[in-house]
Amino acid sequence: MSNPIRIGIAGLGTVGAGLIKIIQKNSNILEARAGKPIKIIAVSALSKSKDRGVDLTAYEWEDDPIALAKRDDIDVFVELIGGESGQAKKATEEAIKHGKHVVTANKAMLAIHGQELASAAENSGVNLRFEAAVAGGIPVIKTLTESLAGNNITRIMGVMNGTCNYILTRMEDTGLAYEEIFEEANQLGFLEADPNLDVGGIDAAHKLVLLSSIAYGTQVDFNGAILEGIGRITIEDIKAASEMGYRIKLLGVSSLSDSGLSQTMRPCLVPLTSPLAQLNGGTNMIIIEGDAVGQIVLRGAGAGEGPTASAVIADILDIARGINIPVFGQPANSLIKVPAISTSVENSFYLRLNLKDEAGILAKVSAALANAGISIDRIRQEGHEKDAAPVIIVTHPTDRDTLNKAISEIEETSAAIDPPVVLRIESV
């Protein structure tokens, strides 16, 4: 029998415990597929005594994940600690320095330090794999780095945060306000410790920028991504969108053009007929468009014990099989640095304006749009509240910069009581 591949696991939360369960339950399958046993040597977490529903007695315990990362008797360091820097990054660096392969689920760390860590891993001749970091159980990293490697990828789109999708679809199903469903999601334990990572679009943008890097051969650029969360979406927006044949999704979109890389993560309207609109609850969906393959749609659980551990074990198996693919699909030193741009593609936009209910106010709004050369496709005013008139406008296609000019002019006239809600209508 071949020598086992020996692993050390740092972080025994939901995913860590799930990984141990898979390794214990499926050991024969894993050994047959890897051609060698997968053996856990040691584990590390904050509390040794906590009951995680898995038997850890066969494994050595390390209080310090960095000590685990450096052990002579492991081949693969599995980083499930989380967090952009701190222990997770230090342990990852130490593992790489000591010639260990690394498997991680840490999107935040890679979105910020991906280029540096990829270079370090490739210089040390080790693998750094991260299937679990993007969309949990959906095999999107493998799809991009391997299955679609022959394509010029033209666009990536997706719903990459299950919590936001849960909130938006529950608002639509129940007719309840954002705040109430946010609290429900909190009670169900869906929200990250810092909920803004979810509802502010940060977690999803971490995932999008990793996909962009592989898709376009560019250096990971989280700071260049344009983010907007779902906190200003009201039940009225959801109803109005639905009546016009759309559904609101926190949608990531990236594309590369001659002028640069556009990466946006913000609420958008998608047609009810699009696959994205069919996505309910905490599920994720990623749509990839390539010049040869056309459009493909990947859908599945974006989080949770089984799905995320499924992605981690797949990376471990690949390492055991001797598969060695550059971290972002091509050598880190060949990834190009490109300017971040806001998309130049023209779209229709949905605007919700809370206007003063006075004579001539609507004329000021339409004049501002006309001055910017923006044509109105649809307009609706109903449901007055005190002295406010909620107005919904759908524009004909225009670009965001032009729309921003019109919005600035609207704001200068003091016609609107609140800043407008602006949602792009994405063609999918």
Q: Which residues bind ligand HSE (CB under 6 A)?
A: 161-163, 192, 198, 203, 302-303
For ligand HSE, the closer CB: 68 or 204: 204
Q: For the CB of residue 134, give the shortest distance to ligand HSE in the complex, in Å.
A: 9
Under 8 Å between Cβ of 15 and 88 = no
- The set of residues, in sequence order, having a beta carbon less than 8 Å from that of 408 and lying 6+ positions away, is none
Among 13, 34, 190, smallest CA distance to 106 is for 13
Q: Residue 340 carries which DSSP code?
A: E
Which is nearer to ligand HSE, 163 or 398 (by Cβ)?
Answer: 163
- Give the CA count within 13 Å in the CB-facing half-sphere of 312: 34
Q: How far is the CB of 207 from ligand HSE (least distance, A)?
A: 7
Active-site annotation holds for 70? no
Minimum distance, C-beta of residue 400 to ligand HSE, in the bound complex (Å):
26
104/398 with CB nearer ligand HSE: 104
Q: What are the angstrom distances between the C-alpha of 224 and each of 208, 337, 338, 341, 426?
A: 12, 11, 10, 8, 20
What is the distance between the alpha carbons of residues 276 and 272, in angstroms, rounded to a whole number?
A: 8
Phi-psi region of 9 (alpha: psi -120 to 50; beta: other; left: phi over 0): beta
Q: Output the residue with the shortest Cβ distance to ligand HSE.
A: 163
End-to-end, the C-alpha distance of the chain in Å comes to 51
Residue type, 36: K
Looking at 98-246, list the stretches that DSSP marks H as alpha helix, in order from N- to C-terminal side.
Answer: 107-124, 140-142, 162-174, 178-187, 195-199, 202-216, 235-243
Q: How far is the CB of 140 from ligand HSE (least distance, A)?
A: 13
Q: What phi, psi does 108 have (nearest 5°)?
A: -65, -45
Tokens 């004909």 sit on residue:
396
Check 39, 89, 107, 207 and give the catalytic one.
207
To the nearest 5 percent, what fractions of the chain are helix, strand and coil? Answer: 40, 25, 35
Closest distance of CB 303 from ligand HSE, Å: 4
Smallest distance from ligand HSE to CB 17, Å: 16
Give helix 361-371 / helix 400-412 axis angle, nearest 10°: 150
Nearer to ligand HSE, 159 or 368 (CB): 159
- For ligand HSE, which is the closer residue by CB, 200 or 302? 302
Task: Name the 3-class secondary structure at 356.
Answer: strand
Note the Cα 40 to chain centre separation in Å: 29
E strand or H helix at 381: strand 376-381
Which CB sits closer to ligand HSE, 86 or 99? 86
Shortest distance in whole angstroms from residue 220 CB to ligand HSE: 16
Active-site annotation, residues = 207
